Amino acid sequence: MASPILLVTEIFPVAGKLDAIAKQWAALARPAGASARAVYRAVDDSSCIELLALDDLSQVAQLSDFWQQSWSAVGADLQGDFQRQLLQFVEAPKNCSSALPDTPYIQMRHVEVKPVVYQDYLTWRNRTIFEVVRNAPEVESFLAYHSVISTEPGVMFVSGFSSEIEQYLSHFTSPHYKNIVAEAGNTYITGGDRGLYTKIYRAV
């Protein structure tokens, strides 16, 4: 089952350092406060991302030493600071058998939803977005989280897949799904340009 709490950290290495930084970061041992850890690199070569699975929010307090290790290991070769989001599990149209997806690829799909329509949005996404996901064999897991602490608050979907990227994306570029996105934009999404974004990562 997917982790109830997910800590997502993204870093942006300086030019020419992405591969080295990804390997150095991935080589760090899983911290005692986490039940699972995975590091990925963006397929567009822009960043690396770390997923930490936590059982409850109190475990965040156990991570300060690990954050210092991360700073010492890769901080000197980053364009900026570590960007972290603390997320809480909501539901999954396709759950995974482990705390984190074990697929070679993940896609992070972020949406900021207006609070006044959030409950309506949950019903809407079950019959639209989730219906597409449930009927897409390439989507092996699809987990819905909501931010607890984040500079980019809102809904975060973590989608795991093993197929070719183009084959996976075909389910989200069809005319039917484009209509879903348009409906979401007209009714539910807020936050300007960052209110809706997606990004694909490959496991390190």
Q: What was the pLDDT predicted at 192?
A: 60
Supply the DSSP symbol for 107: E
Element (H, E) at 199: strand 196-203
Of the candidates 41, 7, 43, the residue with the CA atom closest to the CA atom of residue 21: 41
What's the mean per-residue pLDDT of the chain?
Answer: 95
Q: Residue 42 pairs with which residues in a beta bridge?
A: 201
The stretches of the chain forming alpha helices (DSSP H) are: 18-26, 64-74, 118-127, 129-134, 165-169, 175-187
Of the candidates 24, 39, 170, the residue with the CA atom closest to the CA atom of residue 100: 39
> Number of structural domains, the chain?
1
pLDDT band for position 193 (cuts 50, 70, 90)? low
**Cβ atoms 101, 203 nearer than 8 A:** no
Chain Cα centroid distance, residue 102: 13
The percent of residues in the chain predicted with pLDDT above 90, rounded, is 90
- What CATH number is given to the structural domain containing 127? 3.30.70.100
- What's the rounded Cα separation, in Å, for the pair 103 and 76? 30
Q: What was the pLDDT predicted at 154?
A: 93
Range of the domain at 9: 5-203
**Cβ atoms 85, 156 nearer than 8 A:** yes
pLDDT band for position 196 (cuts 50, 70, 90)? confident
Find where tokens 């999954």 sit: 92
- Of the candidate ranges 114-128, 153-167, 173-187, the one whose mean pLDDT is the lowest: 173-187
